[in-house]
Chain A
């Protein structure tokens, strides 16, 4: 019995020994990545990680520690503590979900660590809660929806039916769409988070006189809805932000998604040099088509390395200034930071098409050029 306790104590001690790293890394940057690698939603985290590693490949000055948050906020907070306190990282990145970002980012920046968001952009962090050390390399949550709203207004869409899950991100997305949309909102429906059957909502759509359905349903919810919608025979136009029509998800929806319009800051057919290289390299390295999450992970690593070339991370002010320049060739084309450290970028309208046997997206136009979020006005830094 004593022996067993000793073993337990020894293994805790072994655990600590494994974590004891020296702090000295001259000119080097140690990056802690907290992302979702197991359980539900792991596909997104894996893509961010793979995109990041692809861009950082061969850079010996960049040391990467990767941790799995299991999509649980309390685990993410503890991992952030671990990376900051034990691993003594300089930069944190990787979080996929808004609620996890809200749990981790304010505390991390308060402790003087840089945080680069490769996904998720809750409004609080773009406005009142902004920080000089926080950079969003993806988008503010409202961006795709505001772009969709203005595109719909310009393209003669008169009546829309809005649908999103009943939680803060869902409510934000709908608010974002309504902010720029000038037509009539016929109905606004909030579904249960994690809902899998949308028969009731589809019946409401059929009964309404809307000409377009606009929805935000991330992950499995979007797959379920699209399959059921396609089988229902309701023939209204469908629009949404890119999350429900990303490459990883389109494969599971299949032909049911064809013709759907969705807004995104990136698409694999964007014709710029950086993107062509990225898409080819990613396929060569991992044997699958990249998703927008992979593109964001890739850009995050490019941004970080561009700043590393200009300043030492120990000099926070200089490093911050170097990041603000955003001097890298983004796979999205033009990319710069607004004063609140959120992107100024074009948001494209894409359409789901079939290329051979593969269901994928094609850019059909720009929905909002040089888009910038509205929360920056509240940001005092």
Chain B
């Protein structure tokens, strides 16, 4: 337990230390990579609440990631072209303010998770995995064929959105924003896991009947967890879109769902900092292996396989010992 705390601190510090080092060495692209790791970690933290805490294996979190991205894309593209989103019954204008966009992304992601969760949570096990996948695919095909916001071409936002007091186009300042959000969400997630709600949720994952006998409905617990999870992943999606200044339906594809899941599992399921470790490792691998060979997916696949087969508990589990952290 203590060992894992120490490891968490080191891991967490690794991101800003790397970013600062890159800043001093004038390597803006490395800062971009670290920022990407922080944002993908955030998406993983979102998924981990459903997956690790609630035991809900969602194969459709790309839906929320994409919705967050499109919340940013739609709002910013209207602000960019000075056209209102709708005029009747009341006027809604686009915006370039990150804070507003985040709010919209969180609400959109949360509402979508409420709808998808309310339907999907009637099923369990493999059926749950597959129905969440189905909802993700629905949104994917919808985004591709809906012409208003670029369809498969996606939407380019030429200038990053605004954050009060900062120049968001400067890589290190944008990193600070992303890292700040990640830190806040990690803090919230750690409180959540220890709160009565989090404990009940964990209990429902381990033994649903026992929870029911004390008068708690697992369905409601899980739905709330799913909504929180979806909202956080949507927030990550909005940030990711801002990092790239671009959104496209690939954010909705089932590969995205798979990748977010990979971050969580690589790092360690149910461990607070698992997604941070997983996302950082994934980005590092992508750039080291990608430089070695055109066929780097083979090595990535082999490595994932080894982690699943022999390093249960992921990176953090392997480094910190086998006990699960969140209880």
Contact = CB atoms under 8 A, between A and B. Distances in A.
B294 interface: yes
Contact of B246 (A103, A166, A168): A103
A78 B244 contact: yes
Interface string A16-43: 1001100000000000000001110010
B29 A99 contact: no
Interface residues of B, number: 49
A19 B28 CA distance: 11
Interface string B28-44: 11101100100000000
A107 interface: yes
A20 B17 CA distance: 19
A5 B13 CA distance: 10
- Report, as a range, how many residues of chain A touch the other chain: 35 or more
Given A2-B10, A37-B294, A102-B154, A78 B248 contact: no
Contacts of B281: 8
Interface stretch (B88-96, B203-211, B268-276, B284-292): B284-292
Nearest to A42: B294
A37 B154 CA distance: 22
Max chain A C-beta neighbours (<10 A), residue from B30, B141, B244: B244
B162 interface: no
Contacts of B250: 72-74
A73 B154 CA distance: 9
Given A98-B153, A99-B153, A9 B17 contact: yes
**Interface residue SS majority, chain B:** helix
Contacts of A12: 18, 21, 30, 284
B183 interface: no
Nearest to B36: A78
Contacts of B28: 81, 85-86
A5 B14 contact: yes
A68 B152 contact: no
Contacts of A106: 156, 158
22 contacts: A1-B3, A1-B320, A5-B11, A8-B284, A11-B288, A16-B21, A16-B27, A19-B27, A38-B295, A42-B294, A68-B294, A73-B246, A77-B245, A85-B27, A86-B30, A102-B153, A102-B156, A103-B154, A106-B158, A107-B156, A166-B144, A171-B151
Interface of B: 3, 6-7, 10-11, 14, 17-18, 21-22, 25, 27-30, 32-33, 36, 141, 144-145, 147, 150-154, 156, 158, 171, 240, 244-246, 248, 250-251, 280-281, 284, 287-288, 290, 294-297, 319-320
